């Protein structure tokens, strides 16, 4: 069973995140890059599937040069190899262009399952998995909190507002995961050393079969018009509880007509 | 005036509040046309008329037998047939996916988690945990916009709500992920977290899996209950109630944080609340930077007193 995991490098949420003043895209140099948190769960799930069903785990990342660090981290968790799509033409791609580009790149890799996170921490659109399934014409098994594969049949529990749906499909399929699904492992020292020697296949957009006339800021269907720092919230009232803290909040709620 | 398609969220024939908000936003752009997928349109139609829906397109429940794709096929077809000016959906996990696939089919773009949208379909986003406000638009094709619940105040306006049955020939490609079972997990009587006008959340400060101090306050206010990740990770409260970057995003009129420090990842899920109240025993807790009203004290005494006061004053 060959598994591809989509891994996005995102700015660490603990650092200050900014947009570039000139082209209004994310300033990726401004903060430390880390693996998008849910993508670690995606890697873990791929490794668990490999342990059960055999095969290879390939990391697929699209991003700037800096994303190499995150690819190494993903390899040190135990993935076998990586494909790194790196091309200035991709800069500023929106969510649907990203899905298109990843779909094209997947066309150059052999796989039975594609695993990704259900949402990134920077842009948080949560649409890449669905759009990818649309572009590939493959079953969309997104928001999975449990995955079972039996022969060519795959079954997931899809998290919903009311609980979950059991969804079934035939491989190959696109699976996105929620954090409930597993507990990502920490890289061992041995794996970190091994990861340095694992192959990373760097591809230009053209190598990955991506039409550069369809990607990047200039060709995006969406456009950021402007941005600004959010106005600071007006300073509120903070009081120390002198035995009447609850009553004081009640006063506030009455004044605001919540009670 | 061109039609603006609004995907209706409904449960047991009841229209959810967010749909009335979307209809209000749709009226700025064009003529609202509600899209009702599934049963119950007869009983829900009244609410749609009250918020200005001129049309109600009713599509069969079977579109939900497969994950997302058939609904996107329906919306894309309607948008083309009716020459829609925009498509609005609520920013739930599934609706954002529907929005994404619909936009791919239409060759347009998708804007997610917007907190406002104007007549020109320019959308406002609150990003990076609320630190930055952006405006974005779709410059090619029919814009597909996912709007956060509680962002646009609903205003009534009467509409004809003329019903029209619609359907779509679902392609084989859209039938590959079949829903074989739906499992409802314990929900209780409380309002749904992302829709609720008031949310009361508990964090590590609650101290144990006895969340009754949070639940009692929530119930006195008719509020939903939320939890920080620390509380969820400790196994004190179920995962689906987590508020924050990797949990739900809420935008209620009132958010009450009990024993929550206010980490950036928590703020990402609640910073657009209109009013924030915090109880924390640490005067330096970052949550107080956001609070409109804060009490430095032990939540185990402050919250029960507050619950009693609310009951008394109601
Ligand atoms: C603040 C902000 C707001 C934005 N808003 C919008 C918007 O409203 N509409 C829009 O079209 N675009 C938007 N964008 C652009 C969008 O973020 C990028 O196109 C991004 O590459 C894909 O979207 P996402 O991270 O939200 O994907 P999500 O759908 O949230 O990510 C899901 C998963 O997809 C995989 N994945 C995503 N990107 C990559 C990658 N480059 N390489 C490998 N795997 C990947 C990961 O597994 C990830 O967990 C926004 C960007 C920013 C910075
Ligand atoms: C990638 C990533 C994603 C994350 N996603 C989320 C997310 O979605 N949601 C989320 O919430 N967090 C998230 N986190 C975790 C986040 O960073 C914090 O660790 C978490 O929010 C802390 O929860 P807390 O405020 O309940 O706990 P703490 O930070 O431990 O704070 C507890 C607070 O309770 C107060 N307290 C203690 N006892 C009492 C008492 N008796 N009375 C009153 N106050 C008391 C303390 O003074 C303290 O301020 C994420 C982290 C990462 C790295």
Q: Which two tokens stand for residue B32?
A: 């609202």
Question: Taking CB atoms and an 8 Å cutoff, what residues of chain A touch B287?
Answer: none
Q: Which pLDDT belongs to residue B187?
A: 67
A88-117 residues touching B, CB cutoff 8 A: 94-96, 99
pLDDT of residue A17: 84
**Taking the CB of residue A64, how many other CB atoms lie within 10 A of it?**
15
Q: In the prediction, which pLDDT does A5 show?
A: 98
Q: How far is CA B96 from the centre of its chain?
A: 11
* Residue A251: exposure state from Cβ atoms within 10 A (0-12, 13-18, ≥19): middle
Predicted confidence (pLDDT) per residue in A38-57, tens digit: 999 999 999 999 999 999 99
**A207-214 long-range Cβ contacts below 8 angstroms, 24+ apart:** A207/A108, A208/A83, A208/A85, A208/A101, A208/A104, A208/A105, A208/A108, A209/A104, A209/A105, A209/A107, A209/A108, A210/A85, A210/A87, A210/A89, A210/A90, A210/A100, A210/A101, A210/A104, A210/A105, A211/A104, A212/A87, A212/A89, A214/A97, A214/A100
Whole-angstrom Cα distance, residue A133 to residue B105?
12
The answer, yes or no, to whether residue A14 has pLDDT greater than 80, is no
Tally Cβ neighbours within 10 Å of residue B119: 10
CA atoms within 13 A on the CB side of B108: 24
Unique residue bearing structure tokens 């995006």: A220
Q: Please name the residue of chain B whose CA is at the shortest distance from the CA of residue A178.
A: B246
| Nearest residue to B166 via CA among B42, B35, B66 | B35
pLDDT at A29: 81
| Closest by Cα among B268, B301, B225 to B113 | B268
User: Where do we find the tokens 């903060």?
Assistant: A31
Lowest-pLDDT range of A125-139, A189-203, A231-245, B10-24? A231-245
Give the global pTM: 0.91
Encoding tokens for residue A107? Answer: 């066309």
Q: For ligand 1, say whether the CB of A112 is within 6 Å of any of its atoms.
A: no
For residue B277, report the distance from its CA to the centre of ligand 2, in Å. Answer: 16
Average pLDDT, chain A: 95
Q: Is the pLDDT of residue A189 over 70?
A: yes
> Quick one: which atom of ligand 1 is closest to the CA of A220?
11
> B95-114: buried (b, 16+ CB within 10 Å) or exposed (e) per residue?
bbbbbbbbbbbbebbbbbbb
Q: What is the number of H-type helices and E-type strands within chain B?
A: 9, 17
Ligand nearest to the CA of A92: 1
Record: contact B110-A254, CB cut-off 8 A: no
Chain A residues inside the 8 Å CB shell of B67: 139-142, 158, 165, 167
Distance CA B241, CA A230 (A): 27
Q: Over the stretch A69-110, which tens digit does the pLDDT of each residue have? A: 999 999 999 999 999 999 999 999 999 999 999 999 999 999
First-to-last C-alpha distance (Å) of chain A:
58
Q: Indicate the pLDDT class of residue A240, thresholds 50, 70 and 90.
A: very high
The tokens of B298 are what?
């032990």
- Taking CB atoms and an 8 Å cutoff, what residues of chain A touch B12? none
Give a three-class secondary structure readout of B145-174.
EEECCCCCCCCCECCCCEEEECCCCCCHHH
Across chain B, which has 314 residues, the per-10-residue mean pLDDT values are 96 95 98 98 96 98 97 98 98 96 98 96 89 94 96 96 96 97 84 93 97 97 97 92 90 96 93 95 96 98 98 92
ipTM above 0.95, yes or no: no
Query: Does ligand 2 lie within 6 Å of residue B281's CB atom?
Result: yes
pLDDT of residue A161: 81
CA pair distance A35, A145, nearest whole angstrom? 20
Cα distance between residue B245 and residue A121, in whole Å: 7
Residues of B in contact with A148 (CB under 8 A): none
Which DSSP helix (H) or strand (E) runs through B138? strand B132-138
A141 touches chain B (CB under 8 A): yes
The Cα of A95 is separated from the nearest Cα of chain B by a number of Å equal to: 8
Alpha-carbon torsion B23, B25, B29, B35, what sign? negative
- Percentage of chain A modeled with pLDDT above 90: 85
Does A68 contact B at CB distance below 8 Å? no
Q: Is the pLDDT of residue A15 over 90?
A: no
Which residue in A37, A131, A241 is closest to B295 by CB distance?
A: A241
Q: What distance in Å separates the CA atoms of residue B42 and residue B51, rounded to the nearest whole number? A: 16
Rounded to an integer, what distance in angstroms lies between the CA atom of residue B143 and that of residue B135? 14
User: What is the CA(B204)–ligand 2 centre distance, in A?
Assistant: 6
Whether the Cβ atoms of residue B285 and residue B278 lie closer than 8 Å to each other: yes
Nearest of B68, B70, B38 to residue A141 by alpha carbon = B68
């Amino acid at each position: 069973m060959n598994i591809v995991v989509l891994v996005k490098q995102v700015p660490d949420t603990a650092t200050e995140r900014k947009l570039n003043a000139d082209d209004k895209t994310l300033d990726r140099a401004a903060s430390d890059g880390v693996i998008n948190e849910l993508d670690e769960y995606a890697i873990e799930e791929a490794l668990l599937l490999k342990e059960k069903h055999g095969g290879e785990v390939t990391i697929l990342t699209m991003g700037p040069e800096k994303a190499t660090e995150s690819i190494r981290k993903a390899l040190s968790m135990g993935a076998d190899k990586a494909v790194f799509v790196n091309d200035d033409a991709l800069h500023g791609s929106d969510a649907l262009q990203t899905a298109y580009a990843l779909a094209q790149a997947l066309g150059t890799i052999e796989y039975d399952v594609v695993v990704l996170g259900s949402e990134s921490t920077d842009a948080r659109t949560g649409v890449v998995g669905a759009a990818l399934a649309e572009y590939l014409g493959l079953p969309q098994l997104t928001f999975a909190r449990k995955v079972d594969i039996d022969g060519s049949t795959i079954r997931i529990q899809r998290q919903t507002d009311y609980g979950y749906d059991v969804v079934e499909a035939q491989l190959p399929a696109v699976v996105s995961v929620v954090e409930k699904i597993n507990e990502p492992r920490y890289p061992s020292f041995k794996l970190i050393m091994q990861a340095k020697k694992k192959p990373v296949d760097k591809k230009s957009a053209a190598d990955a079969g991506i039409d550069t006339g369809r990607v990047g800021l200039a060709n995006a269907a969406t456009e950021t018009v402007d941005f600004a720092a959010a106005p600071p919230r007006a300073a509120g009232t903070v009081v120390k509880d002198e035995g009447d803290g609850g009553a004081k909040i009640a006063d506030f709620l009455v004044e605001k007509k919540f009670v | 005036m061109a039609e603006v398609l609004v995907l209706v969220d409904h449960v047991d024939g009841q229209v959810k509040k967010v749909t009335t908000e979307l209809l209000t936003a749709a009226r700025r752009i064009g003529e609202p046309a509600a899209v009702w997928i599934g049963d119950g349109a007869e009983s829900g139609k009244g609410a749609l008329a009250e918020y200005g829906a001129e049309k109600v397109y009713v599509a069969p429940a079977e579109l939900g037998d497969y994950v997302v794709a058939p609904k996107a096929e329906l919306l894309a077809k309607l948008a083309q047939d009716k020459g829609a000016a925009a498509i609005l959906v609520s920013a739930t996990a599934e609706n954002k996916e529907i929005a994404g696939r619909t936009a791919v089919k239409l060759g347009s773009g998708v804007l997610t988690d917007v907190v406002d949208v104007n007549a020109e379909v320019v959308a406002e986003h609150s990003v990076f945990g609320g630190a930055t406000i952006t405006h974005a638009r779709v410059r090619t094709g029919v814009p597909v916009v996912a709007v956060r619940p509680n962002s646009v105040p609903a205003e009534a306006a009467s509409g004809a709500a003329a019903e029209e049955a619609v359907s779509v020939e679902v392609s084989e490609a859209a039938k590959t992920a079949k829903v074989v079972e739906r499992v409802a997990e314990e929900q209780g009587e409380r309002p749904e977290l992302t829709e609720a006008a008031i949310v009361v959340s508990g964090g590590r400060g609650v101290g144990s899996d006895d969340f009754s101090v949070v639940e009692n306050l929530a119930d006195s206010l008719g509020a939903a209950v939320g939890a920080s990740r620390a509380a969820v990770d400790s196994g004190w409260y179920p995962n689906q109630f987590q508020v924050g970057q990797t949990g739900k995003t809420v935008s209620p009129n009132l958010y009450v944080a009990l024993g929550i420090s206010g980490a950036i990842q928590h703020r990402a899920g609640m910073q657009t609340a209109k009013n924030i109240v915090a109880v924390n025993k640490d005067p330096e807790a970052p949550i107080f930077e956001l609070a409109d009203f804060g009490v430095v004290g032990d939540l185990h005494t402050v919250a029960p007193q507050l619950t009693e006061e609310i009951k008394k004053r109601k």
